[in-house]
Amino acid sequence: MNEPLHLWLIPVLPFIGFVLNGLLGRRLPKAVVSAIALLAPLGSFLVVLFASRAALAHTEGYGTWITAGSFNVDITFVLDQLSLVMLLVITGVGFLIHIYSVGYMHSDEGYWRYFAYLNLFLFFMTTLVLAGNALVMFVGWEGVGLASYLLIGFWFQKKSAADAGKKAFIVNRIGDFGFLIGLFLLIATFGTLSFSDLAAKVAANPTMSGGVLTVIALCLFIGATGKSAQLPLYVWLPDAMEGPTPVSALIHAATMVTAGVYMVARTHFIFDRSPLALSVVAIIGAATALFAATIGLVQTDIKRVLAYSTVSQLGYMFLGCGVAAYSAAIFHLMTHAFFKALLFLAAGSVIHAMGGEQDMRKMGGLRAKTPITFWTMTMAVLAISGFPFMSAFFSKDAILAAAFASGSLGKLLWFVGLVTAGLTAFYMFRLWYLTFFGETRSHDAHPHESPWSMRGPLVILAVLSVGGGWIGAGRFGAFLSPVLGTNTEEMAGSLEYVMMALAVAAGAIGWFIAHRMYHQRAAAQIAAPAPAGYTLLQNKYYVDEFYGLTIVKPLIAVSKYFLEWVVDIAILGGLAWALSALAVFFGAILQRWQSGNIRSYAAWLALGAAVLLYFVLAPHVFGAPSLHLGMAGH
């Protein structure tokens, strides 16, 4: 076949970085730790660039992992158009965020630990994306969850951070359960987990639709809702903001949380055969987009606004998947990676400037003091709000157009998406105004611009956020069509322009309201907003409280009163107690044998010898043939 591309280098380089920094980092100087940590993703990025020139799709096998009867799992990596886009985003944006981290984490004690985890994340994320079958993907899937857990709880001395890490891990576990069931069903139905074999088998059965495919698709989608923070499993992502800000940018905005979208796109041939599953994906996506956007309207923590924005934008991507516009979803995934990473990094720069303050009510007036952060953030805000000819303008428009074109349900979903676009513009400009405009509302902070290692990635990402849309506008679907198939019906030109105008108008209305509310009013009024509905949003619809009441509390009650008291103490403890009592009882009997009287021991010895002698000699003396003690007959 074609020449080897050494795809294994892509995950292995970060893994080497992880091992070196993880084992030796504590003793190495910071410059060496940074060098190792930066070279790993840079090397992977270069390998991806080199590989992108090859003929796609390219498959590399590294041996067999599991063989059980006719069932077989190989360790294979596949580079096709879809994984290429993902890899470029992951290693490219990942490298930029590594550079940024050098500045952001500069004075942290756990510097080496931070970079070891970050490289570990890249290892698992690239494995997930390169995987040629669902089981290797699952390894990466679980691994990014681990890296995410480690990095959310990076400042584990803080209880809220440790709790957030646990929450993320446990909520993801629920989704992973669905994913696993989906894998088992795939094995039971098709007898293989290789994506190419699965696609071929589905294609070979043109009549196969619904039924088991719906169940498989929904199980896989449950996994996606966990990893990609969709309703009802989104609750972990806002809390994940306890981690360092570059982590939020890399893992909880640009890459890991999009794994669910990637997985749905990768297994699209199953979803395509199940209209019901697709509808569920679209509805969940649209509902999440709207739901998270409304919560984002009133959050005061700058990172939490962005977290809810991420949940909302992921909802858009699933909306795209749900109307079978996979290439639009992946397109939005890519542009979102650019502008959301930029938003987070700029927010990190703001937090850095404010000396760790994350409450937007205490910010304000940063425009003059941090000009580069301000301008890059402005680009990102414009991009996410769908400002004409910036990245999200193209990708969001592609999703909305596809939704509009997909039947009557699609019209409703399109409308939800349009409203969400307006809300998105509102909360992004609210953040922008609160942070950069007006008078500063904190008197103990001395804002200062961030070092170059942080400003550089901001500028590069700003360029990508502005121009990223041109990468894919109009030709992304054609580029991805070998993997995702061609499906989107072309729309009439005039309708498309109307849709574009509507989306831009929605964004403009959002901006206008934010401008009126947060720029033209005094600071005192900003702090005292309208109470109607506000408390509900401020408390995030009480979803955490609802889950706490309906799931966590009963679970703790069952654990405590049934599992601990009944199972552990009564049954297991009782069993152990009974066993020990039995041993004591027999011990008490045997104890009498141990008299301490030497002559009684000797008597037992002699008696034993006599009995043995009897059995040896008895056959000779009495002619009994039945005993075979080995010596008989000699």
Partner 1 sequence: MHIVSHEVPLVWYLILSAVLFCLGIVGFLIKRNLITVFMSIELMLNAVNLSFVTFAHQWHEVKGQIFVFFVMMVAAAEAAVGLAIIIAVFRARSTLAVDRIDLMKL
The contact set with partner 1 (CB under 8 A) reads 591, 594-599, 602-603, 606
Comparing CB distances to partner 1, the nearer of 525 and 594 is: 594
Give phi and psi for 67, each to the nearest 5: -130, 120
Q: Over 89-124, what HEC string results?
A: HHHHHHHHHHHHHHHHCCCCCCHHHHHHHHHHHHHH
Minimum CB–partner distance for residue 564 and partner 1 (Å) = 38
Q: How far is the CB of 576 from partner 1 (least distance, A)?
A: 25
Tell the smallest beta-carbon distance from residue 603 to partner 1 (Å): 6
Cβ-based nearer residue to partner 1, 207 or 597 = 597
Of residues 203 and 609, the one with the C-beta less far from partner 1: 609
Measure CA of the first residue to CA of the last residue in the chain; give whole Å: 75
* 8 A C-beta contact, residue 257 and residue 273: no
Smallest distance from partner 1 to CB 631, Å: 16
Of the two residues 494 and 597, which places its CB atom closer to partner 1 in the complex?
597
The minimum distance between CB 597 and partner 1, in angstroms, equals 6
Helix (H, G, I), strand (E, B) or coil at 59: strand
Based on CB atoms, which residue is closest to partner 1, 70 or 597?
597
Radius of gyration over every alpha carbon of the chain, rounded to an integer in angstroms: 31
Q: Helices 134-152 & 111-130, crossing angle to 10 degrees?
A: 160
To the nearest whole angstrom, how small is the minimum distance from the Cβ of residue 66 to partner 1?
Answer: 56
- Rounded to 5 degrees, φ, ψ at 65 are -95, -55
* 264, two tokens: 């749905």
Which residue, 561 or 601, is less far from partner 1 as judged by CB?
601
Q: Nearest distance from residue 604's CB to partner 1, in Å?
A: 11
For residue 586, the minimal CB distance to partner 1 (Å) is 15
Residue 150 gets the label, from left (phi > 0), alpha (psi -120 to 50) or beta, of: alpha
Q: How far is the CB of 630 from partner 1 (least distance, A)?
A: 20
Distance CA 551, CA 546 (A): 8
**Token code pair at residue 589:** 């009997």
Which residue, 493 or 596, has its beta carbon nearer to partner 1? 596
User: Looking at beta carbons only, is 550 or 594 nearer to partner 1?
Assistant: 594
Q: Identity (one letter) of the amino acid at 507?
A: G
Between 407-436 and 275-296, two packed helices, what is the crossing angle to 10 degrees?
Answer: 20
Tokens of 192: 């293989």
CB 596, CB 580: distance < 8 Å = no
Residue 443 or 599: which CB sits closer to partner 1?
A: 599
Q: How far is the CB of 598 from partner 1 (least distance, A)?
A: 5
The full DSSP string for 321-340 is HHTT-HHHHHHHHHHHHHHH
Estimate the crossing angle of helix 159-190 against helix 195-204, to 10 degrees: 40
Q: Looking at residue 2, what DSSP letter applies?
A: P
User: Smallest gap, in angstroms, from Cβ of residue 627 to partner 1?
Assistant: 22
Q: Which CB sits closer to partner 1, 55 or 588?
A: 588
Neighbours of 121 (CB within 10 A): 26
Question: Which CB, 559 or 591, lies closer to partner 1?
Answer: 591
Helices and strands, counts by H and E, the chain: 27, 2
SS3 28: coil
CB nearer partner 1, residue 206 or residue 596: 596
Least distance (Å) between residue 617 CB and partner 1: 12
Give dist(CA 238, CA 169) in Å, integer.
13
Cα dihedral angle (507, 292, 537, 344), rounded to 10 degrees?
-80
Give the residue with the Cβ less far from partner 1, 593 or 622.
593
Shortest CB 167 distance to partner 1, Å: 56
Closest separation in Å from C-beta 584 to partner 1: 13
Alpha-carbon gap, residue 16 to 14, rounded angstroms: 5
- The answer to whether residues 302 and 244 touch, using CB atoms and an 8 Å cutoff, is no
Residue 294 CB partners (closer than 8 Å, separation 6+): 423, 537
Q: Which is nearer to partner 1, 550 or 595 (CB)?
A: 595
Q: How far apart are CA 179 and CA 193, in angstroms?
A: 13
Query: Cα(401)–Cα(441) distance, rounded to whole angstroms?
Result: 42
Q: Which is nearer to partner 1, 551 or 607 (CB)?
A: 607
Minimum distance from CB of 599 to partner 1 (Å)?
6
Pairing of strands 71-79, 58-68: antiparallel
CA distance to 60, 589, 594, 604, per residue, from 597 (Å): 77, 17, 8, 11
Q: Which conformational region is residue 460 in: left (phi greater than 0), alpha (psi within -120 to 50 degrees), or beta?
A: alpha
